[in-house]
Chain A
Amino acid sequence: MFKDFWEVVRRRYPGTGRRIGFLLVALVAMVFAGVVLVVGGAAGLAWTSTEKFCIGCHEMRNNVYAEYKDSIHDKNRSGVRAICPDCHVPREPVPLILRKMRATFELWGHLTGVVDTKEKFEAHRSMLAQRVWKRMKQTDSLECRNCHKADSMSSDLQSEKAQARHAKARAEGTTCIECHFGIAHKEPDGPGPKELKFD
């Protein structure tokens, strides 16, 4: 029955077979392109979120990465590490993509040498730190809390000092970064996250 139907179509509308064939090829090509874009995009996101990628630029390697080395997030008893994207790249999808897009400006900064010497980096340190503190204050230190869950902090395993500090922070609504700044990287001059007000 289909054969008869096809015969009628072929006679009345010559070239239909070619058009359908073309459409099928185009569809397969689009699906293939889509898969390549999705897989490529995911691979790109994953690759640009590795420690090796981040320290590919000497501005990071010689300054903030050198400071981070041997800090508690790099070396500790259990060997569990927090690397650059753990603190500096959001995990939620939209903020993640936005951050990656904004990172293209960092590429431009690298190419134009905005912070390519120690002196230039130090001159920009405060501004760079405040950018990070701003996001952390606005999200209640989300990147900290991705790993450090307050409800999972065992008071038996924390020192008395830590217990007292955290109890005070809970009572005052202090967010992690307001006390735990300058831990991974050298602190800049000027006001800290507690003093700064971000809208």
Chain B
Amino acid sequence: MRSGLTVLASALALCASSVVWAADVDEGAAEALMKKSNCNKCHSLDKKKEGPPFRETAGKYKGKPDAEDKLFTHLTTHPKVKVDGKEEEHTSLKTKNDDEVKNVVRWVLTR
């Protein structure tokens, strides 16, 4: 009974957290920053380009509590990514404002 309640509470919390993400996304600002940063040179919404589509990323991280942190790190530390068998540095967003980066992360996670 207790474990069932725990599971229910966790599920509700996760749902609530995704709702919080959705509620917190400034779509216009995210899309403007992504446009400025040329994200869609390599990423599409649902089609294959050099990088994974945003919907695929959203699906991959769905329900994971550390999703936002992982993507924030990805977008701020220039990690190496493999494109056509070669390693390249992933570019970061054209901003120094962490909140703007987090907004874009939430935009991706809510596609």
Contacts and interface: CB of A to CB of B under 8 A. Distances in A.
Query: Does A pair with B?
Result: yes
Interface of A: 70-72, 161, 164-165, 168, 179, 181-183, 187, 189-192, 194-195
Question: Taking each of A161, A165, A189, which has the highest tally of chain B beta carbons within 10 Å of its own beta carbon?
Answer: A161
Contacts of B47: 187, 191-192, 194-195
Contacts of B83: 161, 164
A181 B40 CA distance: 9
A89 B73 CA distance: 43
A194 B45 contact: no
Contacts of B50: 165
B49 interface: yes
Contacts, number: 33
Contact of B46 (A70, A161, A164, A189): A189
Interface of B: 32, 35-36, 38, 40-41, 44-50, 83-84, 86, 88
Contacts of A182: 40, 44-45
Nearest to A67: B35
B48 A194 contact: yes
A164 B35 contact: no
A194 B44 CA distance: 12
Given A164-B83, A164-B84, A187-B44, 13 more contacts: A70-B32, A70-B35, A70-B36, A164-B86, A165-B50, A168-B84, A179-B49, A187-B45, A189-B46, A191-B47, A192-B44, A194-B47, A194-B48
Contacts of B44: 181-182, 187, 192
B57 to A, nearest CB: 16
A153 to B, nearest CB: 16
A164 B82 CA distance: 13
B14 to A, nearest CB: 26
Nearest to B49: A179
